[in-house]
A = this chain, B = another copy of it.
Amino acid sequence: GGAEHTRIRRAVVEAIECDPVFSRENQYFQSQNERYEAAVRKAVHLQKKMHEMGWTENGPEFKYIYRTLSGDIAFLLHHIFMRSISVLGSDKQIAKWIPLATRYQLIGSYAQTELGHGTYLQGLETTAVFDITTQEFILNTPKISAMKWWPGDMGRSATHTVVFAQLYVHGKCYGVHPFIVQIRSLQDHSLCPGITAGDIGPKMNFEHVDNGYLMLQNVRVPRENMLNKFCEVQPDGTYVRRGSQKINYFTMTTVRISLVSDEVIIPLMKACTIAIRYSVVRRQSKLKPGEEEAKILDYQTQQEKLLPQLAAAYAFHFISDYLQELFNRGYGEIQRKNFDMLPELHAFSSGFKAMITHYCTSAVEICLRACGGHGYSLLSGLPSLYTKILASCIYEGENTILLLQTARFLIKCFMAASAGQPSVTYLAAVKPGKCPAKNKLDFLSPDIYTEAYQHMAARLISSTAAKLQDLIQSGVKKHDAWNQCTVQLVQAAKAHCHYITVKNFAETVEKLKTQAGIQKIMKHLCDLFALHGIFSNAGLFLHDGYISGAQMDMVTASYLDLLAVIRKDAVPLVDAFDFTDKSLNSALGCYDGQVYQRLYEWAQKSPTNKQMSPAYERYLKPLLHNTPSKL
């Protein structure tokens, strides 16, 4: 992001890391309760710190604060609460609630998901019935599956939340709408009348977040508490809509785009840093007899595990910038009440969220496994990166469902052929053909591989569209036909996103012309990312003969050659991510290579080593009591 951003980032990192309140030193030894309390402490302290440092929520420092804290902080849903009011609330609502929230005079949450209902929002069961006599909405949880479940900051912290509920006026259902509801007393934090709420218990990660449950029993909120920028219930019960109903989902769209960079790509970068640094310290077996044991990164198999993940981290970093730009443009249009870009934004944010979270989760797992036993120790930092990133495959839309939404958009564009959106015009030009590569070096040409990805994506989309039409023409009902194609539709949506990522990486590299040194190594990474994808999904490229078996051997050869080339720059490439030891919080990823000393030091701090276990007196001693003292 340039020298100025780096300066700001490093200043933030320094200010936070030298402050003991933000220490993550004991993170791997803490219980869920301790993690939650630390997260609240940090969140509260952060307010002071920001004031002290002159940082603001809209300032350039903000994203670096979050990065430096590794997300290990409370009240993140408070920001989603604010964002949903900013996007969905009227000017009057914004004027009332945003200042209160900004000053933390209330703590907000965002209550959408229910115990029985996730990504399919239309299925939500919580009800909000308009009572014309009191000008209030009456909110209820009609059955157990309608209980709100998972909202962050809600289990113990929040005083308010945005509840998504089915709106009923005069007995008619108008679908899901958002309502601001107070859940805890501002005096003593006790639950408000009609509210049942608490913490949903232990999870794979996010121990620091009080994900909560919430039941509502005849909870009344004033008419003004329905967020009403885009639709409103008037005092007489008239329902008025302004703009698309889909705008309700827009908060999720924006969240999906920002989570990709903050919650997904950064963990992958950290995992690569840890695993690659460890792989030049760890030695195992001999490459040549008589020599000392080799660094494990000198083994082709280890390179093949880690270097494609490093390339992916860069690929996704660049595509995330591209998505952010696309989103900024779209958001501008929506502010002007032009909703034309909504379908494309929704399709893109869904597909890329799913593709990138899935890819990065596997990538972090590969990094973890590539560190052998030590990767399995929490002290390596890798298990917590993995268990955290895994959640991103599920929250803010389950990946399979998201990919199917992207597929629906692609099929629609394909059917409309030339009338498609600019990003998918390639679908209009599907034709059979053969890859023109003649030798392995040809596969280092971005034109060659980008074309191959384009061909493959277009083929999957067109052949699935054809299957769909065949089924419908043969008399299968439309919905059954769709269901029978979904495995292939998912494949097609992934292929589309993969293609766009490769294309964007190649174009980004092209633009680096002024920085020859960086361009050269980025070109290698781009080639590696692209060829790894062909090598790992060979069937998709071989299927119609676009790439022949002999050409696939060339791909494999170039791919394996690249590993040895990039191996040389692997350490500087992870150093470029510029994580401090503290932010990695890993005994394996340290700069100084003192991995074993650090593992030993950290292990000694474990509560399991604090004293002799009571298990000895209780169980072992009686067991061993009649053993002869000398064996």
Q: In the assembled complex, which residues on chain B have CB atoms less than 8 Å from the CB atom of A117?
A: 284
CB distance B287 to A479 under 8 Å?
yes
Verify if A400 is at the interface (C-beta below 8 Å from B): yes
Q: In the assembled complex, which residues on chain B have CB atoms less than 8 Å from the CB atom of A287?
A: 479-480, 483
Verify if A247 is at the interface (C-beta below 8 Å from B): no
CB distance B300 to A612 under 8 Å?
no
Contact partner of A623 (CB less than 8 A), chosen from B104, B541, B614, is B104
CB distance B560 to A487 under 8 Å?
yes
Verify if A419 is at the interface (C-beta below 8 Å from B): no
CB distance B486 to A300 under 8 Å?
yes
Q: Of residues 443 to 499 in A, which have CB atoms within 8 Å of B's CB atoms?
A: 477, 479-480, 483-488, 490
CB distance B369 to A304 under 8 Å?
no
Q: In the assembled complex, which residues on chain B have CB atoms less than 8 Å from the CB atom of A602?
A: 201
Contact partner of A41 (CB less than 8 A), chosen from B106, B115, B540, B619, is B619
| Majority secondary structure of chain A interface residues (helix, strand, loop or mixed) | helix
CB distance A198 to B614 under 8 Å?
no
Bound complex: CA of A299 vs CA of B403, how far in Å?
A: 14
Verify if A577 is at the interface (C-beta below 8 Å from B): no
CB distance A189 to B616 under 8 Å?
yes
Q: In the assembled complex, which residues on chain B have CB atoms less than 8 Å from the CB atom of A619?
A: 40-41, 43-44
A residues contacting the other copy or chain, number (CB 8 A):
136
Verify if A335 is at the interface (C-beta below 8 Å from B): no
Verify if A175 is at the interface (C-beta below 8 Å from B): no
CB distance A304 to B145 under 8 Å?
no
CB distance B283 to A620 under 8 Å?
no
Q: In the assembled complex, which residues on chain B have CB atoms less than 8 Å from the CB atom of A47?
A: 623
- Contact A620/B120 with A156-B608, A203-B378, A301-B490 known, Cβ cut-off 8 Å: no
Bound complex: CA of A606 vs CA of B606, how far in Å?
A: 23
CB distance A213 to B603 under 8 Å?
yes
Verify if A259 is at the interface (C-beta below 8 Å from B): no
CB distance B284 to A118 under 8 Å?
yes
* Residue of B whose beta carbon sits closest to that of A564: B484
CB distance from A589 to the nearest CB of B (A): 16
Q: In the assembled complex, which residues on chain B have CB atoms less than 8 Å from the CB atom of A477?
A: 288
Q: In the assembled complex, which residues on chain B have CB atoms less than 8 Å from the CB atom of A479?
A: 287-289
- Contact A613/B33 with A40-B619, A300-B486 known, Cβ cut-off 8 Å: yes
Q: In the assembled complex, which residues on chain B have CB atoms less than 8 Å from the CB atom of A7?
A: none
Q: In the assembled complex, which residues on chain B have CB atoms less than 8 Å from the CB atom of A100?
A: 627, 631
Q: Which 3 A-B pairs have the closest CB atoms?
A: A538-B539, A201-B606, A105-B627
- What 19 new A-B contacts, CB under 8 Å, besides A113-B373, A201-B606, A305-B400? A37-B618, A40-B613, A44-B619, A44-B622, A106-B631, A120-B285, A123-B284, A157-B615, A200-B603, A203-B383, A301-B404, A301-B487, A301-B490, A304-B487, A369-B399, A373-B394, A376-B394, A539-B539, A539-B540
